[in-house]
Chain A
Amino acid sequence: MAAYVQEIGALTMRWVRRLSREKFSMVFTLVQPMLFWLIFFGNLFQRAADAQVVQAPNYISFLAAGVVVMTVLNNGLAGGVDLLFDKENGFLERLLSTPIHRTSVVLSRFLFVMTITCLQILVILGVAALFGVRPATGLLGVAVILFIGMLFGVGLTAISMAIAFSVKSHGDFFSVLGFLSLPLIFLSSALVPLSAMPAWMSVLARFNPMTWAIDAIRPLILSGWAEALPRIGMVVVIMAVFDAFCLYGSARAFRRTIG
């Protein structure tokens, strides 16, 4: 057990160290492009979005939940790319020739991606607060938001790793990624509530786990526990299924690479 902790600690620190070596990239990781969505998109649509339709005092407070989950989506889907680079340049092989538990490499990546994602969510909620958006459920609500983000993030990172282990080159990886992320955002309740969507889109959006995460986080920000609790129960069940599915696929891809 002590050995397991030692190796996971060291592998996780490697990711942290890499990030800290690239000062630019570190700043841009924390102050990420997702903030532009909140700041510009949120304010841009202030008058275009009907408060009756979005069921929120203003558009930016409606959008906050969506931007939080979009951050989780982007981080999760990109989470596997460093493992792909490791696979391509042989570093992964070097790691696997050492007496580490086979899961340590993957687990260290999860830990790192989840930590960064949490920090980014906190930055987003902080910026939202500057525009007057305060979570109705307080600090405990923020903790639950992070928890839901992690639940979704684990599955996404697993998908990303599965793609990383399966594709032939990182060119393929980025095309698959680019193909996935926009439809997932538009076919969710991130920008517009389901009730305001064209019927066919709202049907599709219901199958998008992202929608369920957003619909659980939104009342935590906008209204309060009464509305949020049943949705949190719902999202936990859905994410458990989603994560189990993704982790299974990722484990298979990982074993194929190593086997």
Chain B
Amino acid sequence: MEVIGRTVAIEASGLGKVYDGVTAIDGLSFQVFAGEIFGLLGPNGAGKSTTLRILITIVRPDAGHATVLGHDVVREADRVRHLIGYVPQERAIDRFLTGREHLLLLGDLYHLPKSETRKRIAEILRLVDLEEQADRPARTYSGGMKRKLDLACGLLPNPKILFLDEPTLGLDVQSRLRIWDYVRRLRERGITIVMTTNYLDEADRLCDRLAIIDGGRIKALGSPNELKAGLGGDIISLTVGASETACVDRLASELKGLPFVRAISTKQNGLDIRVESPEKALPVVLEAANRAACRLEFIDYHRPRLDDVFVALTGHAIREEFPKTDE
């Protein structure tokens, strides 16, 4: 995948930002290559949106600097703004304006001649499939339609780089898939995409490369496959019966130090064991369960997933309040 000598579209080095004494991000450095979908993955409050806001020039970093297509985001903010499109996280929509009026307004803000704006609007509305609703006030739009309008607004300046803040947050499954499809199509047109997300499956399936951010720092950087391979080994998940949660710790101590076992993380009703070669490890693990007198309810073996990577790097799941889900 990795090609030597790829063009760097965005270069961030040592970015830091403090809000009212609270550190939002701390020494972030990364590169985004031209033509890729780059994801900033992390839980809420990790610093993804702050990073994005610095890159789109609406927040000044307290430390470090960043360039977008060679232009400094602070000193040459105006140049940068001409080259990028932005799709905010909130439904930043004026309910009283129609979809088309949003786009006409933006055309004037990018100082385009009217004829050029009209041409682009026609093309973009077709691309995001919003032609029929374009002349209805935005307050009549569904969530998915608003998201399409958001996307259309981000595309109007004909950007070299499109920034998406949580593009599928709160959308139903169908709308999500459609947004993913648009994003891929934009990459095919040569647009570089930078997006934040706290959905592991979205990061896994959509992004070419990822920065995993937690607590304002980058924990890992690479393609989803590299990150999973970097974890080393496969995962054996054991689930114990509901009445036997007490034996989880016992089992963990039995397993510790066994050959093939690389790492163990305990959950409420079971544990995840990272092993070198599952076919050798599995009998050993089962034997240990026997010794610990643990009745296993469920055994699952899988290649590392992005959520395993996330837990291994940060020590917690991306959304603590929900059980880990994959698809």
B135 within 8 Å of A by Cβ?
Answer: no
Q: Contact at A98–B93, with CB atoms within 8 Å?
A: no
Q: Contact at B109–A98, with CB atoms within 8 Å?
A: yes
Chain B residues, CB < 8 A from A3: 111
Contact of B91 among A9, A11, A21, A90 (CB under 8 A): A90
Q: Contact at B97–A14, with CB atoms within 8 Å?
A: yes
Contact of A100 among B86, B88, B90, B109 (CB under 8 A): B109
Chain B residues, CB < 8 A from A97: 56-58, 81, 84, 86
Interface residues in B127-178 by Cβ distance below 8 A to A read 137, 153, 157
Q: Contact at A94–B97, with CB atoms within 8 Å?
A: no
Given A98-B81, A98-B157, A99-B81, A90-B88 contact (CB < 8 Å):
yes
B106 within 8 Å of A by Cβ?
Answer: yes
Q: Contact at B96–A18, with CB atoms within 8 Å?
A: yes
B89 within 8 Å of A by Cβ?
Answer: yes
A51 within 8 Å of B by Cβ?
Answer: no
Cβ-closest chain A residue relative to B97? A17
Interface residues in B96-127 by Cβ distance below 8 A to A read 96-97, 101, 104-106, 108-111
Chain B proximity mask over A88-121: 1 for CB below 8 Å, otherwise 0: 0111011111111000000000000000000000
Tell me the complex Cα distance, A228–B58, Å. 48
A169 within 8 Å of B by Cβ?
Answer: no
Chain B proximity mask over A14-41: 1 for CB below 8 Å, otherwise 0: 1001100110000000000000000000
Tell me the complex Cα distance, A231–B7, Å. 68
Tell me the complex Cα distance, A9–B109, Å. 10
Size of chain A's interface in residues, with CB distance under 8 A?
A: 26
Q: Contact at A259–B60, with CB atoms within 8 Å?
A: yes
Name which of A13, A17, A89, A93 has the most chain B CB atoms within 10 A of its CB. A93
Cβ-closest chain A residue relative to B111? A3
Chain B residues, CB < 8 A from A13: 105
Output the least CB separation between A10 and chain B (Å): 3
Given A10-B105, A14-B105, A17-B96, A99-B82 contact (CB < 8 Å):
yes
Chain A residues, CB < 8 A from B56: 97
Chain B residues, CB < 8 A from A91: 92-94
Output the least CB separation between B134 and chain A (Å): 15
Contact of B109 among A17, A90, A99 (CB under 8 A): A99
Name which of B93, B97, B108 has the most chain A CB atoms within 10 A of its CB. B108
B78 within 8 Å of A by Cβ?
Answer: yes
Given A17-B101, A18-B96, A94-B60 contact (CB < 8 Å):
no
Given A91-B92, A94-B88, A99-B81, A18-B97 contact (CB < 8 Å):
yes
Chain B residues, CB < 8 A from A2: 111
Output the least CB separation between A91 and chain B (Å): 5
Q: Contact at A93–B96, with CB atoms within 8 Å?
A: no
Cβ-closest chain B residue relative to A259? B60
Given A14-B97, A93-B58, A258-B58, A98-B106 contact (CB < 8 Å):
yes
Chain B residues, CB < 8 A from A11: 105, 109
| Subset of 13 A-B contacts with CB under 8 Å | A2-B111, A6-B111, A7-B108, A11-B109, A18-B94, A21-B96, A21-B137, A89-B90, A91-B93, A94-B88, A99-B109, A99-B110, A99-B111
Known: A94-B88, A98-B106, A99-B109. 6 other contacts (CB 8 A): A6-B108, A17-B101, A89-B92, A91-B93, A93-B53, A97-B57
Q: Which A residues are closer than 8 A to B by beta carbons?
A: 2-3, 6-7, 9-11, 13-14, 17-18, 21-22, 89-91, 93-100, 258-259
Q: Which B residues are closer than 8 A to A by beta carbons?
A: 53, 56-58, 60, 78, 81-82, 84, 86, 88-94, 96-97, 101, 104-106, 108-111, 137, 153, 157
